[in-house]
Amino acid sequence: MERVYRTDLKLLRYFLAVAEELHFGKAAVRLNMSQPPLSIHIKELEAQLGTLLFIRHSRSVALTHAGKVLMEETRSLLAATNQALARVEQIGRGERGRIELGIVGTAMWGQLRPVLHRFIKANPTVDIIFREKSPGIQMAMLERHEIDAGIWRMASIPPQGLTSLRLQEASFLVALPSEHRLVRHDAIPLHELRNEAFVTLPAVHSDWSFLQKVCNKAGFSPHIVREAVEPQTVLALISMGLGITLIADSYAQMNWPGVIFRPLEERIPADLYVVYDELQITSTTLRLIDELKVVSA
Can you list the domains of the chain with their CATH numbers?
A: 9-92 (1.10.10.10), 97-169+271-296 (3.40.190.10), 172-262 (3.40.190.10)
pLDDT at residue 112 in the model: 83
pLDDT tens, position by position, 260-289:
999 999 999 988 999 999 888 888 899 899
pLDDT digits (tens, 9 = 90+) for 200-233: 988 765 678 888 889 999 999 999 999 998 888 9
Are the C-beta atoms of 235 and 257 separated by less than 8 Å? Answer: no
Question: What is the helix (H) or strand (E) element at residue 198, kind and residue range?
Answer: strand 197-200
pLDDT confidence of 90, banded at 50, 70, 90?
Answer: low
* Mean pLDDT, rounded, of the chain: 88
Q: What is the DSSP letter of 171?
A: B
User: How many whole angstroms separate alpha carbon 17 and alpha carbon 15?
Assistant: 6
Residue 251 has pLDDT above 90, yes or no: no
